Amino acid sequence: MPKVMIAQNILAANETLAQGLRQDLTAQDIHSINLMSAPGAGKTTLLERTIERLREQLNIAVIEGDIETSADAERIEAAGAPTVQINTRGACHLEAHMLRDALANINLVWVQLLFVENIGNLVCPSTWDLGEDLRIVVVSTSEGDDKPAKYPQMFATSQVMIINKLDLLPFVDYDVAKVRREATAINPHLQIFEISCRTGEGLNEWCEWLLTFARQRDLSPTSSS
C-alpha cells in the first residue's frame, strides 16, 4: 500500500504542474504537441520534414527528450527550429517538471507551435501528462503491425496516429488496414495519417492539417488522464 500511495502522489503532483503549464501555454496562444513512439519509428525525421515544410509559415520550437546524447536536437536545430535538449539519464519518459525547466530556455513570445519529442517508449509516456494540447503516436511499418494491440494505453490517450515509413511496405510484412482497425477499436476518434518521410507521400496532408491545428484559437485543453 505505501508504494501505491507514493506512485499516486507523484502522478498527482505531475498532473497539477502539467495543468499549470497547459494554462500558461494556452494564455500565450502556443499550441503544444507531445510526440511519442517506440524507438526508431521516425519521430525526429518527421519533425525535420515538418519543420522544413512549415518554417516559413509557423514559428516552431522543439523540446527534445532523450536518455543520452544531443544528436537528435542537433538535427532539429539544423532543420531550422530552436531546440532545447532534455537528457533523462535513464528515465524512460518525460515529466512535467522537465518540461517546465526546458521552457525557461525558450523565447516563448516567438513560438506558435511547440513539439515535445518524448523518449522512445510505448508504455511510460502514455501515463505522464506534460501539459500538452495534443498527443500524437507514431508507428512505423518496420516495427510490426501489433503495436495497438500490445500497447493500448498509448493509443487510447492519443488523438492522432501517424503510420510512418510507407516506402518500406514492399519489403515488410505489415498490414496497414489491421493497424488502423485495431487502433480505432481502442480509440474511435483517432485521426490517422499515412506517410513516408523518405518519399514525401502523405506529408502535404499532414502539414496542412498541422497548420490548421496550430492556427486554432480558443483551443480546449486536452485531458490525458
**What pLDDT is attached to residue 120?**
96
- pLDDT tens for 114-138 read 999 999 999 999 999 999 999 999 9
Count: domains in the chain: 1
Cα–Cα separations (whole angstroms), residue 105 to 63, 98, 101, 116: 10, 12, 7, 14
CA distance 123 to 93: 9
Instruction: Judge whether 220 lies within some domain.
Output: no
* 186 within a domain of the structure (yes/no): yes
In a domain, 111, yes or no: yes
Which residue in 34, 51, 47, 30 sits closest to 111, CA to CA? Answer: 30
Please, are residues 225 and 126 in contact by the beta-carbon 8 Å criterion?
no
Burial class (CB in 10 A: 0-12, 13-18, 19+), 124: middle
Q: Which domain holds residue 17?
A: 2-214
- How much of the chain exceeds pLDDT 90, in percent? 88
Cβ burial of 90 (10 Å; 0-12, 13-18, 19+) is exposed
pLDDT at 220 over 50: no
- Convert the pLDDT of each residue in 56-110 to its tens digit: 999 999 999 999 999 999 999 999 999 999 999 988 999 999 999 999 999 999 9
- The per-residue pLDDT for 10 is 78
Q: Grid coordinates representing 214?
A: 496550430
Task: Give the CATH number for residue 157.
Answer: 3.40.50.300
Q: Is residue 205 part of a domain?
A: yes
Determine, yes or no, domain membership for 219.
no
Q: Is residue 27 part of a domain?
A: yes
Helix (H) or strand (E) holding 134: strand 134-140
Q: Is residue 184 situated within a structural domain?
A: yes
Check pLDDT > 90 for residue 8.
Answer: no
Across the chain, mean pLDDT equals 92
pLDDT at 4: 41
- Report pLDDT for 167: 98
Average pLDDT over residues 170-193: 98
Residues 24-40 have pLDDT tens digits of 999 999 999 999 999 99
Which of the four pLDDT bands, split at 50, 70 and 90, describes residue 217? low
Quick check: pTM over 0.85? yes
Residue 70, domain member (yes or no):
yes
**For position 2, what pLDDT does the model report?**
43
Half-sphere exposure of 159 (CA within 13 A, CB side): 14
